């Protein structure tokens, strides 16, 4: 069996199928057209990132988060 997958639709929406000569006359060709999700329409939100929770927890913190992390790491050594 021969499988071909097309991931992008051409701008003119025409797909040309070149059938190899080694396929006999008594063979069936099956073409399946399936809808796929448009990945471009899915936009990322700030809540999709892991640092959003940290920013929410530290909104009332008046120091530097990076300085605190460096200080804790130095103490652990």
Question: Block means of pLDDT (10 residues each) for the chain, length 77 residues?
Answer: 70 76 76 70 72 79 83 89
Question: What is the extent of the structural domain holding 58?
Answer: 44-76
The verdict on residue 9 lying in a domain is: no
The verdict on residue 31 lying in a domain is: no
Do residues 15 and 6 make contact, with C-beta atoms less than 8 angstroms apart?
yes
- The pLDDT of residue 2 is 66
The verdict on residue 29 lying in a domain is: no
The verdict on residue 13 lying in a domain is: no
The verdict on residue 24 lying in a domain is: no
The verdict on residue 69 lying in a domain is: yes
29's CB contacts (< 8 A; 6+ apart) are 17, 19, 23
The verdict on residue 62 lying in a domain is: yes
The verdict on residue 59 lying in a domain is: yes
Q: For the chain, what is the domain count?
A: 1
Tell me the whole-structure pTM to 2 decimals. 0.30
């Amino acid at each position: 069996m021969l499988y071909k997958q097309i991931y992008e639709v051409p701008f003119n929406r025409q797909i040309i199928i070149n059938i190899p000569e080694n396929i006999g006359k008594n063979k069936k060709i099956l073409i399946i057209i399936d809808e796929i999700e448009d990945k471009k329409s899915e936009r990322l939100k700030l809540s999709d990132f892991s640092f959003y929770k940290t920013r929410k927890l530290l909104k009332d913190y008046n120091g530097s988060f990076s300085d605190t992390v460096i200080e804790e790491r130095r103490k652990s050594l």
